[in-house]
Amino acid sequence: MAWITCDFFAETLGLSTSIHVFLPQSGLDPSSHSSKLPVLYLLHGRGADHTEWMRNSSIERYAESKGIALVMPGVGRSYYMDMANGLPYFTFLSEELPQLVKSFFPISDRREDTYVAGISMGGYGAFKLAMSYPERFAAGASLSGGLDLASRAAGPAFQESEIRALFGNVDRLKGSRNDLLFLAEKFAAHEGNKPRLYQCCGTEDFLYQDNQTFRQYAENLGIEVTYEEEPGEHEWGYWDYKIQRVLDWLPLP
């Protein structure tokens, strides 16, 4: 695969940013250049950046045989939100970035070829994107995601300064588009095609209960989620193993 660091100016954010992109190499066969590539957006966790997947996993090796492009953006500690007192990262991720990626690289614009996955904070972001825009994504995967954000933000997980930056006030989170349980209700009522959802979490992970809450909520709403759990903590050994399962599970053409 070809590994590309792409630096560009994001109009939505009003600043320069970077993404990492992996593209499968077509070789010398002219027929292999005839179609655009399916794409998996890989989202990083809290406190990390767009280099996280490349540095901590063997994602390049796992994806090489799949014929899929990988796009890894960075959003800081924004929790994939349009921050109350910060930058509009969710608008950047959902609107501007896909258009830029398709203009820069041979990426398909078909829903059937577009997927998103993430770890921890990125698992939250992946489900948020997939459920917010079911018409754009064929699948979304959360690995040890922070899926019950409203409950977590009401506890000691966030400092007051971070709450102000992200939500303005924690009371504004529950029932908003940043609340995955609220989004699940809208997603369940969506009458069109729905993306497939995959969820996993280690049983020793500190976010295990968050995952149980979301899983039960989705089940009560009639949302189909492929769920897996096994012994594991909140760490890259577990995620490196599970991303292989995600790649096999994706409905690739």
The alpha-helical segments, DSSP class H, found in 40-80 are 52-56, 59-63
What is the total residue count of the chain? Answer: 253
Please give the mean pLDDT across all residues of the chain.
94
Question: In the CATH hierarchy, which fold is given to the domain comprising 2-249?
Answer: Rossmann fold (3.40.50)
- pTM for this model (two decimals): 0.95
Is 203 in contact with 146 (CB distance < 8 Å)?
no
> What is the per-residue pLDDT for 34?
54
Whether the pLDDT of residue 30 is over 50: the answer is: no
> What is the per-residue pLDDT for 236?
98
Cα dihedral sign, 240-122-216-249? negative
In this prediction, residue 156 has a pLDDT band, given cuts at 50, 70 and 90, of confident
Longest C-alpha distance within the chain, in Å?
57
The alpha-helical segments, DSSP class H, found in 33-179 are 52-56, 59-63, 89-91, 97-104, 121-132, 149-153, 160-166
Residue that has been written with the tokens 């989620």 in this structure: 225
> Tens of pLDDT along 159-188?
899 999 999 988 889 999 999 999 999 999
> Tens of pLDDT along 57-84?
999 999 998 999 999 999 999 999 999 9
